């Protein structure tokens, strides 16, 4: 069972804009996200996620008809990968 947690834009207002869950990818732990704009599922397999949940490079929705593209932090990442 996946535990969905907050995905936040890296801004001063810390606005909740989506959800994520830990994903076991081919190169270790990564995350799957629900795009906050179109609501579809995507994986962050080509991204790095630090212990605080900051994702690099910026996250872009992989669907051509969606324009969402942000720098994000996966809130609770450090705790989630230790479970």
Please determine, for residue 3, whether its predicted confidence score (pLDDT) is greater than 80.
no
As a dihedral over the C-alpha atoms of residue 30, residue 36, residue 42, residue 47, rounded to 10 degrees, the angle is: -40
Residue 66 pLDDT grade (very low, low, confident, very high; cuts 50, 70, 90): very high
Q: Kindly state the average pLDDT of the residues 71-76.
A: 87
On whether the pTM is more than 0.95, the answer is: no
Q: How far apart are alpha carbons 79 and 77 in whole angstroms?
A: 6
- Domain range list for the chain: 5-82
CB count in 10 Å sphere of residue 58: 11
Q: How far apart are alpha carbons 67 and 60 in whole angstroms?
A: 8
Q: How far apart are alpha carbons 45 and 29 in whole angstroms?
A: 9
Q: List, for residues 17-63, the tens digit of each pLDDT value.
A: 678 889 886 778 899 999 888 889 999 999 999 999 999 999 999 99
């Amino acid at each position: 069972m996946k535990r969905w947690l907050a995905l936040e834009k890296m801004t001063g207002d810390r606005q909740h804009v989506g959800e994520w869950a830990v994903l076991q990818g081919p190169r270790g732990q990564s995350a799957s996200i629900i795009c906050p704009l179109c609501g579809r599922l995507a994986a962050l397999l080509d991204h790095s996620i630090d212990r605080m949940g900051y994702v690099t490079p910026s996250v872009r929705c992989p669907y051509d008809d969606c324009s969402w593209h942000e720098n994000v932090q996966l809130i609770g990442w450090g705790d989630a990968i230790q479970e």
